[in-house]
Structure 1
Amino acid sequence: MSTQRLRNGDYHDYSSTGASPEESPSEGRSSFSPGSYQRFGESSSTTWFQTLIHLLKGNIGTGLLGLPLAVKNAGILVSLHHGSVFSVATAVLPTCSGLLNKPYLDYGDTVMHGLESSPSAWLRNHAHWGRRTVDFFLIVTQLGFCCVYFVFLADNFKQVIEAANGTTNNCHNNETVILMPTMDSRLYMLTFLPFLVLLAFIRNLRILSIFSLLANISMLVSLVMIYQFIVQRIPDPSHLPLVAPWKTYPLFFGTAIFAFEGIGMVLPLENKMKDPRKFPLILYVGMAIVTALYISLGSLGYLQFGASIQGSITLNLPNCWLYQSVKLLYSIGIFFTYALQFYVPAEIIVPFFVSRAPEHCELVVDLFVRTALVCVTCVLAILIPRLDLVISLVGSVSSSALALIIPPLLEVTTYYTEGMSPLTIAKDALISVLGFVGFVVGTYEALYELIQPSSGPIATNSTSAFM
C-alpha cells in the first residue's frame, strides 16, 4: 500500500482521534469554515485543563533537574537572561498556524505551509523539505528525551537501592554512606524496558492525560520538597562566579534548551483541544509557570550545592528516607512522562509503517513499531549512560533547531507579506543565528566530552550519597 493512504484517510488511528470508520479525517476537515474551530472526533478532544496538564507535564521533566548544573556552566547572570529568551520562541508556532487558518497543522505542516506562503519561489517549490526536516528533528528530539528518561530512572533507583542500608531518618547531618554494590545501572535500564513498552502502547491523549495528572502530582510533591531543602541555609555565594568560563557555555546551552521539552507537543495539543481559541492563553500561562520554575530551581540549586552540583539535583539530596522518597516520587513522574514524550515520534513513524501493512495486520504492525522504538531508546541510553552529556547533546543537536532556529525563521516567512518591522526581522534573525551557533558549538563540546572526558569529570552518573 502506498503512503497516499494516509492522505486519503484509509488508515485511521481511531484511538487517538476518536474518528469512526464512517467519518474519515478528510471528511471532518472539509466541513471547516474560517473562524470555526470545531473538531471531528469531539469525544476524544481535550479540555483546557487537560491541555494545560499536558503542557506542564511536557516541559517539566529531567531537564528541569539538570538546570542547576547548567547555571554552573554559564554563571548566574548569563543563565537568568538566556532562560527567559528561550521560553519566548515556543509561542511563535501557534501564532503562525493561526495566521494560516489551518487548525489541524502539526509542527511539520506549519513549516511546510509557511514556506508555501513565502515570497521566494525557491522556498515555495521546496516547502515539502521543510516538513521532512522538522519531522526528523522532532523524532530525534523526542526519542532523545526518552533516552534521558532511561538514564534518569536508572541513576536514581540505583542510588536509592545502594544507599538503602545507610539511609536514616536524620536529614540534617549529611554523612558519608558505605554503598551496597548492586547491578550496573544499564541493567536497571533493561529492567524498566518491558514496563515502558507497555506504557508506549497507550495511543489516546485523553487516556494519557490521566497518567500526566499522576505524574504532575508526584513531581509537584517532589519539587516542593526539593525547594524546601535548597532554600534552607544557603551558603555564602560570594565565591561563586557570576559568569562561568566560555568553554563550558556550550554545555549550558544544550542543557537549557533541552529543558524546554514540550516544543514538539505544542501544536499536537492545540489540535486536540475542543476549543483551540483558548490555547494561546493556556500556552502563555503554562510557559510563564515553567519559566519561573526553571529560573528559580536552577539558581537556588546552584547556590545551595555550588561546584558539587550533579547532572540531576536529586542526586545531591541528603541520604535520608524523606529525600530518598523524593527521588522515587520524581522517578515515578518521569516514568509516566515517557509515554507523553513518546507520543510525538510515534505519531510520525507508526502511520508510515502501518500504511504499508495489510489492513488485518495494522494493529500488530503498530505495536511492533512502538516496541522497536522503545528498545532503540533503551539501547542508546545504555551506550551513553552519562546523564549530563546526553541532555546537552540532545538539546544542542535537535532541541535548538526546533525551539530557536526554525520558529523565528518561520515567523519571518509567514508574516513577511503581511508587513514586518525591521526590528522584528532583526530580532528573529539574531535568535536563529544564536541558535545555530549553539547547535554547532554545543554539539561539538558534548561529543568532545564523550570521547575525551575532562580531567575533572562531573559525577553525574555517580551513586554516592550527598556529603
Structure 2
Amino acid sequence: MLLIKCRELHVGSYGDIGGHFYGRWMRYIVLFMIAISQFGFCCGYCIFFAQQFALAVELMGGKHLDRIVWIAIFFVAIIPFTLLRNIGRLGISVIIADICIIVGLVYIYVYDIKELAKNNGSPTPLKLFNSHDFGLFIGTAVFSYEGIGMVIPICAGMKNPEKFPKALAIVLSFVCVLLVTFGAMGYAAYGESVKGVILENLPESSGGEKAGKKAIMLLYIIAIYLTTPLMLFPCIRIVEEAAFGILGEPKPGKGKMWKENIIRILVDFCVAAVAYGGYHKLDIVISFIGSFACCPLLFIFPPLFHIKAFPHYPLWRKLTDVVFILFGLLVFVYTLIITIQNF
C-alpha cells in the first residue's frame, strides 16, 4: 500500500521510485534485490520440480536417477519460454498453472480433513511454538509474499489503477487466510511426521489414493514449470539492462537478439546450478531468499520511500514508518543469521 501511495507522486517502476527519492544508487539496490528475489524463487521452483518429478517417476515404477537429470530437464524445458520477448504470451500458461494449483489445494484440503476425522484429531501432540526452526519459519513466511516485485507493474497495467489498493487488500487477506489454514491443517493432520512438501504425506495405500497422489504431483510439476518463466522475466530484464549498460547497448537486429538469448540462457543455467547446490535444502533456500531479498522489498524500502515522499505527514504517521523499517531490519538480520547457521 505504501508503494502505491509513493507511485501517486512518481509514476514508474519500484526501482524508479527508489531512485526518485534517494538517487540512482537506491534504484540499483532495489533492482538488485528484485533480481535476486525473482532468481531465488525460480531456484526454489527448480528444486521442487526436480524433487517431485523424481518422486513421481519412482512411484510409477521408474528408476532412481541422479538429481542432475531432473534439473537438466527443467533447464532445457524453460529455455523456450524465457526466450519470449512479450510477457503477454505467458498468460495462457499462467492460467493453466493456477488451475493446477487450485485443484491440488482442494485435493490436499480434503485429505487433511479426512486424516483429522480418521484420527479424531491430530495423531501426535502439537507444538504451538518451535523455537529451533522459528527463524526459518519467518524467512519462509516472508518468501510467501513473492509477488511484491510485481505490485507496481500490475497497478500500472490496470485500466482503473485507483481501484488497485482495495483489490490488493482483498487478495492479500484471502491469501493470508489460505496460507495459515493450509499450513495449520497440514500440521494438525500429520503432526510431527509432516514433510517439508505436503504432497509427500498424501496416502497411497489403495490404488485410487496412489493414482490421486501421482496426479496431484504431476499437476504441481506442471504448475511450477509454467509459472517459472513469468517469475524469472523481471530478473532477466534487470540482468540484460545491467549487462548492456556495462558492455554497451548493441544495435537493433539479429545481433542484439542473439546477445539477449545468450544472457537469458545463462540466467537459466545459473538457476539450475544454484538448484543443484541447494537440492537437499529446499527449506533453507526458501528461507534465505525470504530473509535476504524479500524482507527489504516488503518491510524496509516501502516505508523508507513513504517517509521521503510525504514529509508533511504528522509525527505518528512517520513513527509508524520507522517502526516498520526497524521491524524489517530486525527480521532481516535475525532470519539471515539463523538461515546461514542452518546451511
How does the TM-score come out when normalised to structure 2?
0.90
Counterpart position of 2:47: 151
> Secondary structure at the residue paired with 1:157?
helix
> Residue 428 of structure 1 aligns with which residue?
321
Matched, 1:130 2:51: no
Q: 1:206 to 1:278 in 2, by over 3 A?
A: farther
2:301 partner amino acid: I
Aligned-partner residue type, residue 127 of structure 2: P
Query: Deviations along 1:25-78, whole A, 9 cap, x unmatched?
Result: xxxxxxxxxxxxxxxxxxxxxxxxxxxxxxxxxxxxxxxxxxxxxxxxxxxxxx
Name the stretch that deviates more: 306-315 or 138-147. Answer: 306-315
Alignment correspondent of 2:262: 368
Higher helix content, 1 or 2:
2
Indicate yes or no: 2:6 matched with 1:96. yes
Asked if 1 retains the 8 angstrom alpha-carbon contact of 2:104 and 2:216, the reply is: yes
Alignment match, 1:442: 335
> Following the alignment from structure 1 to structure 2, what is the Cα–Cα distance between the partners of residues 428 and 351?
32
Structure 2 residue corresponding to 1:265, chosen from 150, 158, 162: 150
Q: 2:128 aligns with which of 242, 246, 271?
A: 242
Whole-angstrom distance in 2 between the partners of 1:214 and 1:418:
47
**Structure 2 residue matching 1:231: 3-state secondary structure:** helix
- Establish whether residue 349 from structure 1 lines up as the match of residue 242 from structure 2: no
Q: How does 1:312-461 map to 2 (within 5 A)?
A: 312-319=197-204, 320-354=210-244, 356-360=249-253, 361-385=255-279, 386-415=281-310, 417-422=311-316, 424-450=317-343
Give me the whole-angstrom Cα distance separating, in 1, the residues matched to 2:178 and 2:240. Answer: 34
Cα distance change on mapping 1:273 and 1:205 into 2, 3 Å = farther
Q: Which residue of 2 aligns with 1:283?
A: 168
Query: Residue 98 of structure 2: which of 216, 233, 240 is its match?
Result: 216
Structure 2: segments with no counterpart, 5+ residues: 205-209
Aligned partners of 1:204 and 1:418: how far apart in 2? 41
Provide the alpha-carbon RMSD of the alignment: 1.8
Report the Cα distance in structure 1 between the residues aligned to 2:85 and 2:2, rounded to whole angstroms.
Answer: 27
Query: How far did 1:219 drift?
Result: 0.9
Partners in 1 of 2:188 and 2:322 — Cα distance? 34
State the alpha-carbon separation in 2 of the partners of residues 398 and 254 from structure 1: 10
**How far apart in 2 are the matches of 1:204 and 1:285?**
29
Q: What amino acid is aligned across from residue 412 of structure 1 in structure 2?
A: I
Report the equivalent of 1:59.
none
Distance change >3 Å, CA 348–CA 181, structure 1 → 2: same
Q: State the AA in 1 paired with 2:95.
A: L
1:96 alignment partner, SS class: helix
Amino acid at match of 1:107: Y
* CA drift at 1:363: 1.1
- Residue 427 of structure 1 deviates from its aligned partner by 2.9
- 2: CA distance, partners of 1:288 / 1:203: 33
- Aligned pairs for 1:38-57 within 5 A: none
Match of 1:109 among 1, 11, 16: 16
Structure 2 counterpart of 1:270, which letter?
Answer: C
Q: 1:184 aligns with which of 54, 66, 81?
A: 66
Q: For residue 306 of structure 1, what is the amino acid of its counterpart?
A: G
Question: How far is 1:191 from its partner?
Answer: 1.3
Mapped to 2, the partners of 1:321 and 1:427 lie a distance apart of 52
Equivalent-residue separation in structure 1 for 2:97 and 2:138 (angstroms): 27
Q: 3-state SS of the aligned residue for 1:296? A: helix
